[in-house]
Amino acid sequence: MSRRRDLLLAAAITVILGSQRRKRRFWVRPSLASRNKYSATDLLRDLNDDDHADDPSLKREIRCDGSFKNFLRMTSEDFEYIIGMIGHKIERKNTTFRDAIPVREKLAVTLRFLASGDSYQSLSYLFKISKSAISLFIPLVCEALIDLLQDYIKVSPIFRKRMDGSG
């Protein structure tokens, strides 16, 4: 009888402790909440401004080095073209709880991921977007890019399986 009582007691304790949810420390991490102050999106704007600066006082290597292209592996004109073509597919609406991540940021994060192979955590620090959000929208943006560029690229079956979540 003692063993049965001990088992029931252990089960009751497990149920009680398991039902108590850990309180969240943050709704949004303070380091990510400062995204509006300065993030890689501002860096992209600065790089684009550098590339298109017509100020003769700037050294030639600063004016024409293609910083934007070096960062995302495409020109700002191509970036804008892609935004126009897939923006409606990857756009989300703002809610009363939080603003949606802008289409430009989603595309920039995805292109940086594809260009550099950076981890989601590294991209999180760079763009000040949570790792979990990045892990949700990168596959969606990749799918939209594949749909847009299907006549120009060939996607490996292995990558396609990973995108579908079965690989």
Total Cβ atoms within 10 A of residue 93: 6
Q: What are the structure tokens assigned to 1, written together?
A: 């009888």
In a domain? residue 117: yes
Considering the domain boundaries, does residue 106 fall inside one?
yes
pLDDT in tens, 27-75: 566 555 655 666 677 777 777 777 666 655 554 444 445 788 888 898 8
**Contact (CB, 8 A) for 123 and 129:** yes
Domain assignment of residue 114, yes or no: yes
- Structure tokens that stand for 62 in this block: 């600063």
Q: Cα 154 to the chain's mean position, in Å?
A: 23
Distance of CA 1 to the CA centre of its chain: 57
Residue 134 inside a domain? The answer is yes
Reading the block at residue 57, the tokens are 């006082």
Instruction: Tell me the pLDDT of the chain (167 aa) as tens digits.
Output: 577 887 777 777 777 766 666 666 655 665 556 556 666 777 777 777 776 666 555 544 444 457 888 888 988 889 999 999 999 999 999 888 888 899 999 999 999 999 999 999 999 988 888 899 999 999 999 999 999 998 888 878 887 777 776 65
Number of domains in the chain: 1
Distance CA 111, CA 81 (A): 14
Residue 63, CA distances (Å) to 45, 46, 71, 137 in order: 14, 12, 15, 33
Residue range of the domain that includes 93: 37-164
Is 137 a member of any domain?
yes
54 lies in some domain: yes
Q: Are 35 and 128 in contact (CB under 8 A)?
A: yes
Residue 27 lies in a domain: no
Q: Is residue 25 part of a domain?
A: no
CA distance 64 to 53: 9
